Amino acid sequence: MQFLKQFKIEIQGAPEWQVGWNARAAMYAKSIQVPYWRGVTKLLPLPAMPGDGSTACLTNCGCAWDVQEVGADSYDAYWRRGKNDSCQGCIQREQEWAPLQVRNGELR
């Protein structure tokens, strides 16, 4: 947050928008991927989140979780690729996590 605050000050103090700020702004926007996916997946104990940096695509991950409720406190979670040029880690997750089962709050 301190870096974002400094970025805000830098923008406000400049006479015009700098082209290099586009990449910096995009980086800050991508930083919320993990908290977003934790919320969308109801804080289920899933082993990874899109954009968490645990694969070669780092924060450029275009994947998503597809979580389906299958019963009381029971879910099947599928790793879905969203890009045609996914990294090998995401391709492997799509194959292996099809589905991941969460039962009574525990990953099976």
- Provide the 8-state DSSP code for 58: G
Tens of pLDDT, residue by residue over 44-58, are 999 999 999 999 998
* Amino acid 107: pLDDT: 96
Provide the whole-model pTM: 0.77
Under a CB-based contact definition with an 8 Å cutoff, are residues 102 and 74 in contact? yes
Please state, in angstroms and rounded to a whole number, the distance separating the CA atoms of residues 79 and 104: 20
**If pLDDT is split at 50, 70 and 90, which confidence band does 104 have?**
very high
Under a CB-based contact definition with an 8 Å cutoff, are residues 105 and 73 in contact? yes
Q: How many CA atoms lie within 13 A of 68 on its CB side?
A: 9
Under a CB-based contact definition with an 8 Å cutoff, are residues 65 and 78 in contact? yes
Other beta carbons less than 10 A from residue 78's beta carbon: 15
**If pLDDT is split at 50, 70 and 90, which confidence band does 1 have?**
confident
Tens of pLDDT, residue by residue over 34-46, are 999 999 999 999 9
